[in-house]
Amino acid sequence: MAVATRVPSDTLQAELATGGPSPNVLLPEVPIPGELFGFERLAASAGYWSTRERDAGAIAAGIWADVLAWSGESPDHDDMTLLVVRVSARSHGVGSGPL
């Protein structure tokens, strides 16, 4: 699991754990009005869902559920983009030197 605000131009490596589907929602806390979801919550949500789901679509759906549960009825939902990428060590030669 990786969350980056600045992605280096060479490589980004992330290891996603596998697991079965889970109907749980990660965020039990009550949002403070005006408080952003933030990178810490995004990283926690991505880590949570990537250990419970194998499919990128299911991981994204879990993260979106957390974000929307946090933001509720707030009108500040513009410009939201989520990209879930699985990078396999085999397909990118991880451990075999620079790409």
Which tens digits make up the pLDDT trace of 34-71? 788 888 899 999 999 999 998 999 999 999 999 888 88
Task: Establish if 46 belongs to a structural domain.
Answer: yes
| Structural domain for 59, as ranges | 38-72
pLDDT at 12 > cutoff 80? no
Task: Establish if 84 belongs to a structural domain.
Answer: no
pLDDT at 94 > cutoff 80? no
Interval 76-84 mean pLDDT: 77
Is this structure's pTM higher than 0.85? no
Task: Establish if 64 belongs to a structural domain.
Answer: yes
Please give the tally of structural domains in the chain.
1
Q: What pLDDT, on the 0 to 100 scale, is given for residue 76?
A: 63
Buried/exposed code over 63-94 (b: 16+ C-beta within 10 A; e: otherwise): bebbbeebbeeeeeeeeeeeebeeeeeeeeee
